[in-house]
């Protein structure tokens, strides 16, 4: 889907720093950003508080504002603005989640015993680079590359497909098989 005239105009207004342009931009894409945050957290079994969601939303919009709208200036218009922003927001959110090491299943972990809490902490292994690298030793070739790109580099399925040459619709099943192998080896990704 190509860039719509409405989004083209909105983008031009933002980049020219016209009055109320940024507010209009945020109003238009706030729901999309919140959806990306929720989906990204859910895919990683991370429960976010309202404050976490607000912080991540701010991080995404700050990322768009950074360096005089550098990310928005790089947009080539080859897709819809919403598609582009989804990829950008996901990358920012994943990087922030990894940086913050948000505990998986935080709500359940808070109300469990110490032994159960340790089990929940094991589920967040994909948020810790050293642990992921250790787990990757049990994988080989493209499977290891895909896990590394997805969990450590925060790349989208499309980016992984482009880097590895495998079809985009193969990335998800490959990640699932890798997780199953890791679980079978005693890890809990």
Q: In this structure, what CATH number is given to the domain that contains residue 172?
A: 1.10.10.10
Residue 111 located in a structural domain: no
113 within some domain:
no
Please indicate, yes or no, whether residues 83 and 154 belong to a single structural domain of this protein: no
* CA proximity to 175, closest of 6, 43, 64, 55: 43
Task: Supply the pLDDT for residue 82.
Answer: 93
Helix (H, G, I), strand (E, B) or coil at 46: strand
> Are 94 and 159 within one domain?
no
Q: How many residues does the chain have?
A: 189
Give the domain-ending residue among 81, 100, 119: 100
Look up the domain containing 151 and give its range: 128-184
User: Please, how many CA atoms are within 13 Å of residue 167, restricted to the half-sphere of its CB?
Assistant: 3
pLDDT in tens, 124-148: 335 456 656 766 777 888 888 888 8
Residues 6 or more apart whose CB falls under 8 angstroms from that of 91 comprise 154, 155, 156
Report if residue 170 sits inside a domain.
yes
Asked if residue 152 and residue 90 are part of one domain, the reply reads no
Judge if 77 and 146 occupy the same domain.
Answer: no
Establish if 116 belongs to a structural domain. Answer: no
Is residue 79 exposed (0-12), middle (13-18) or buried (19+ Cβ within 10 Å)?
Answer: middle
* Phi then psi dihedrals of residue 104, to 5 deg: -70, 145
pLDDT digits (tens, 9 = 90+) for 82-126: 999 999 999 999 888 888 764 444 433 343 334 333 332 222 335
68-91, pLDDT tens digit by residue? 999 999 999 888 999 999 999 999
Burial of residue 7 (CB within 10 Å: 0-12, 13-18, 19+) is buried
Q: Is residue 119 part of a domain?
A: no
CA within 13 Å, CB half, 131:
15
Residues 21 and 82 in one domain: yes
Number of domains into which the chain is organized: 2
Enumerate residues 6+ apart whose C-beta is below 8 A from 57: 30, 33, 34, 37
Mean pLDDT over 52-73 rounds to: 93
Do residues 24 and 81 both lie within one domain? yes
Partners of residue 46 on adjacent β-strands: 104
User: Does 83 lie in the same domain as 11?
Assistant: yes
Tally Cβ neighbours within 10 Å of residue 54. Answer: 13
User: Does 66 share its domain with 148?
Assistant: no
Same domain, 86 and 145: no
Q: Which of 18-32, 66-80, 152-166 has the lowest mean pLDDT?
A: 152-166
- Percent of the chain beyond pLDDT 70? 76
- Rounded Cα distance between 120 and 125, Å, is 10
112, part of any domain: no
Output the furthest CA–CA distance in the chain (Å, rounded).
Answer: 57
Q: Is 52 a member of any domain? A: yes
pTM of the model: 0.55
> Do residue 93 and residue 146 come from a single domain?
no
CATH code where residue 14 lies: 1.10.1740.10
- Asked if the structure places residue 109 within a domain, the reply is no
* Pair 69, 140 in one domain: no
Write down the pLDDT at residue 121.
Answer: 29
Instruction: With beta carbons less than 8 A apart as the criterion, state whether 188 and 123 touch.
Output: yes
């Amino acid at each position: 889907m190509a860039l719509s005239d409405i989004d083209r105009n909105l983008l031009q207004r933002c980049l020219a720093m016209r009055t109320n342009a940024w507010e209009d931009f945020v109003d238009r894409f706030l729901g999309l950003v919140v959806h990306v945050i929720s989906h990204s957290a859910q895919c990683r079994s991370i429960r976010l508080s309202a404050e976490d969601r607000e912080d991540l939303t701010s991080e995404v919009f700050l990322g768009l504002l950074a360096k005089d709208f550098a990310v928005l200036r790089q947009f080539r218009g080859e897709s819809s603005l919403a598609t582009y922003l989804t990829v950008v927001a996901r990358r920012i959110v994943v990087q922030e989640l990894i940086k913050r090491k948000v505990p998986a299943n935080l709500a359940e972990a808070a109300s469990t015993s110490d032994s159960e809490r340790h089990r929940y902490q094991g589920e967040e292994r994909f948020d810790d680079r050293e642990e992921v690298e250790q787990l990757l030793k049990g994988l080989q070739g493209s499977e290891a590359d895909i896990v590394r790109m997805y969990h450590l580099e925060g790349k989208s399925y499309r980016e992984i497909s482009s880097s590895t040459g495998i079809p985009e619709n193969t990335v998800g099943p490959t990640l699932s098989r890798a997780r199953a192998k890791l679980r079978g080896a005693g890890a809990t990704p």
